[in-house]
Amino acid sequence: MTARVRGNAATLSLIGLTLAIVIMLAIGTGKLLKSDADYQERALRVVTLRADAVRLQLDQETGLRGYIATRDASFLRPYTDALPQLDAILPQLDAASAGLGISGTSAVSAMREIHASWLNGVARPLLADHLTKQGSMALQRRGRDLIDRYRSINLQFATDLEEGIRKHARETAQTFTLLASLAGLAVLVGTVTLAYVVRNQARLASTVNRQRSFVDDLQRVYISRLEALPGTKSASAYISATLEASVGGDLFDVRRLDDEHGYLLIADVSGKGVPAAVDTAKIRFSISALARNASEDPVAILRGLNRVLNWYQSDVPRFATVFYGVLNWKTQTLRYASAGHSSVFLRRGDEVTQLAVTGPLVGIGHEVDFETRQIQLYDRDLLVLATDGLTEARGRDKSILTDEGAMQWIREAACDEPQRCVEDLLTRLRLYSHSTFRDDLALLVLQIDAAQL
């Protein structure tokens, strides 16, 4: 009896120990899951606020640049709107980054100081309009240096955030492994929980990786728009040559202006990466602001855009090809001006023609001018607007497609509907280039359709 009692006592002790371990594991797992969920929530909050800090600073810079170049007060609206928002965003970013294991606080403090210096030492004196030309140019150079520092710190902040998330993921996984090893009975619980956490961490890392660069932050706010215009059908596509970014130096825009007009825009900015994406956003914003006052005059739009781009050139000259057209859907006419942008085509039946370039690139100097052309469109006519990701695509044998090759594709493509036309052209491009894209591609197809009026 004594031996049996002792055996039962040992069994009960083992069961009790096992239950204690399981309970400890459950408590530890619960706390770790809560801590991990809190961390992910704070990290995603920081990602969002950092993107807002990029957007608002860009709104201010672009608004100031546009106003100084054109003296058009409509440019100042985003500048003034962004002032209180950025003042509120930066303290929130500071608070949200605390406790994430990154140098967020010092980075945000530096961003706040730089923004204050830019605002008080550059923007407000330039808006006061009492400077000499030399004084204005000196302030512009100082402003460029401050903005470059602001973006550099923001980008480093993003890199630190990504590394902090990876470190947190490693530490969390190690802790779960330790908890799971405490008892064989808890291995299944620990394994399932570990898989859950690893999956969530991978999802968080993927989210941050997609949003960590300025390029992706810009894409959230300045993505190309395709607004429906009466009497038309349209479709579009965008392919980035950079795997880690979904936007670059190409853009398109379709917007309604009034009861009978809308504009078509396609542009290709020189360069790659952050500078090209910033200039792309500025072009889209500037065109939108200029169109409020001179919407039906393509030449006036390109002249204004050229002034804006030349006003604040960086050490590395930046320029762009731009096509801006105003469509009157009631008369089915298109008035356009093309600043070096040759890849715009008209398909009518089985015939494809190329719309002529009417001026040089924008951003290469002040002493340039443009010409307006007008074409009559008819029902079922198809306009294909593309960037050089189409016309300069390279085949497997390194041959270049060229404008003539693109026209042949458009002639042969199934283009009874804009969406089918886009899909057909992209299929041909992937087959031709073996799905290797050396340049970004923006593609816009618009069809005249009287039935839509």
CATH code for the domain in which residue 447 is found: 3.60.40.10
Report the candidate in 279, 442, 453, 299 with the shortest Cα–Cα distance to residue 373: 299
Residue 217 lies in a domain: no
Contact (CB, 8 A) for 69 and 311: yes
Does residue 220 fall inside a structural domain?
no
Residue 311 is given by DSSP the state: H
DSSP code of 74? Answer: G
Contact 51, 211 (CB under 8 A): yes
Q: Is 292 in the same domain as 196?
A: no
Q: Are residues 274 and 363 in the same domain?
A: yes
User: Do 230 and 153 share a structural domain?
Assistant: no
Whether residue 174 sits in one domain with residue 110: yes
Is 219 within the bounds of a domain?
A: no
End residue of a domain, out of 189, 212, 235: 212
Q: Which of 157, 186, 212 is the last residue of a domain?
A: 212
102 and 235 in one domain?
Answer: no
Asked whether residue 243 falls in the same domain as residue 158, the answer is no
Pairing of strands 344-348, 382-386: antiparallel
pLDDT tens digits in sequence order for the chain, 453 residues long? 455 455 445 555 555 555 566 666 666 666 766 776 777 777 778 878 887 887 788 888 878 878 887 778 877 887 888 888 888 888 888 888 876 766 656 888 888 899 999 989 988 888 887 778 778 888 888 888 888 888 788 777 777 777 777 777 677 666 766 665 654 544 444 444 555 555 655 665 555 554 444 455 555 455 567 899 999 999 999 887 664 445 567 889 999 999 999 999 999 988 766 667 777 878 888 888 888 776 678 999 999 888 888 875 555 557 899 999 999 999 999 999 999 999 999 999 999 999 999 999 998 887 788 999 999 999 999 999 999 999 999 988 889 999 999 999 999 998 889 999 999 999 999 899 887 777 788 999 999 998 887
Measured over the CA atoms of residue 408, residue 411, residue 412 and residue 418, the dihedral's sign is positive
pTM, two decimals, is 0.66
Q: 70: closest CA among 338, 390, 290, 361?
A: 290
Q: Decide: residue 424, CB within 10 A, 0-12 exposed, 13-18 middle, 19+ buried.
A: middle
Instruction: Tell whether 317 and 429 lie within a shared domain.
Output: yes
Cα–Cα distance, 271 to 283 (Å, whole number) = 14
Same domain, 143 and 235: no
Which of the listed residues 212, 233, 266 is the one where a domain comes to its end? Answer: 212
For 133-192, the DSSP string reads: HHHHHHHHHHHHHHHHHHHHHHHHHHHHHHHHHHHHHHHHHHHHHHHHTT-GGGHHHHHH
First-last CA distance in the chain? 98
Which residues, in sequence order, are CB contacts of 169 under 8 Å at separation 6+? 197, 198, 201, 202, 204, 205
Residues 241 and 313 in one domain: yes
- Tokens 């020189």 locate to 270
pLDDT digits (tens, 9 = 90+) for 28-79: 666 766 776 777 777 778 878 887 887 788 888 878 878 887 778 877 887 8
Residues 231, 181 within the same domain: no
Asked, for residue 291, whether it belongs to a domain, the answer is yes
Nearest to 53 by CA among 96, 113, 108, 102: 108
Looking at the fold, whether 38 and 169 belong to one and the same domain comes out as yes
**In-domain check, residue 202:** yes
Residue 69, domain member (yes or no): yes
Identify the domain containing residue 358 by its residue range.
Answer: 225-452
The dihedral of CA 427, 432, 434, 437: what is its sign?
A: negative
If one counts the domains in the chain, the total is 2
pLDDT per residue as tens digits for the range 285-321: 888 888 877 667 899 999 988 888 887 555 555 789 9
Beta bridge partners of 254: 226, 264
Clarify whether residues 169 and 317 are in a common domain: no
Report the largest interatomic distance among the alpha carbons of the chain, rounded to a whole angstrom.
110
CA distance 427 to 301: 34
- Does residue 270 form part of some domain? yes
Q: Which residues contact 379 (CB under 8 A, 6 or more apart)?
A: 332, 448, 449, 450
